[in-house]
Structure 1
Amino acid sequence: MDPIEAAMWRAGVPRSRTTGLAAYAVTEAVADGVLALGQTVIVDAVNAVEEARGQWRSLASRHGVPLVFIEVVCSDPTVHRRRLGSRSRDIEGFSERSWEAVERRRAEFAPLVDDRLVLDSVVDLQSNVAAALGFLAAVT
């Protein structure tokens, strides 16, 4: 979502909470077109609120495809904060998140009620990829 929102800002759309919502709408439109072609879609988004998750459920339902949620967490706050501090996504027009912003988002995050796979980013990448592929194979 962040690259889409940043592109909107660069195109002259004023920064506001509305641009975040619009980024979800743009992503849904792109995903809708890809699904219409019979392709698979992966959406990388926080989905902090139930309305966002409902958007993806509705999209999947309209196309008759399964929807899979994979939640990535970092169980070690020290590692999480260190990674955040050294992260550089290089998204033009988009600043990196502060630790305080991450904590605010975490506090506002509506609990997921969907069946999902939870991956812990302190686990090695190879194990997490294997777990994700196994989960996807079992669900789809």
Structure 2
Amino acid sequence: MICSDPALHRQRAEKRTSDIAGLRLPTWQDIVIRHYEPWGRDHLVLDTANDSIDDLLQRVELHLRDAIE
């Protein structure tokens, strides 16, 4: 899962709350400076910036159907 719109990603990260006592959520700066390893094989990418949850779920369903056929 990704959010390709940095402004939207930041807005979501900064508004996020936790219902777990003592859990410190990452700041926007934590997110920006985090090192991410590239995924080295084919995989499904879901972009939450552009698609509705229904569209994303449909893509997951199709991906899983293709994988088991």
TM > 0.5 between the two?
yes
2:46 matched to which residue of 1?
119
Q: Which runs of 5+ in 2 are unaligned?
A: none
Task: Please state which structure has a larger fraction of its residues in helix.
Answer: 1
- State, as a whole percentage, how many aligned pairs show the same letter: 30
Task: Please state which structure has a larger fraction of its residues in strand.
Answer: 1
The offset of 1:104, in angstroms, is: 1.5
Q: Which runs of 5+ in 1 are unaligned?
A: 1-71
Q: TM-score, normalization: structure 1?
A: 0.46
Query: Which of 1 and 2 has higher RCO (CA within 8 Å, sep 6+)?
Result: 2
RMSD of aligned C-alpha atoms? 1.0
Q: TM-score, normalization: structure 2?
A: 0.88
The structure 1 segments of at least 4 consecutive aligned residues displaced by more than 6 Å after TM superposition are none
Asked which structure has the greater CA Rg, the reply is 1
For residues 38-72 of structure 1, give each alpha carbon's deviation from its aligned partner in whole angstroms, at most 9, with x where no partner exists: xxxxxxxxxxxxxxxxxxxxxxxxxxxxxxxxxx0
CA distance in structure 2 between the partners assigned to 1:124 and 1:136 by the alignment: 19
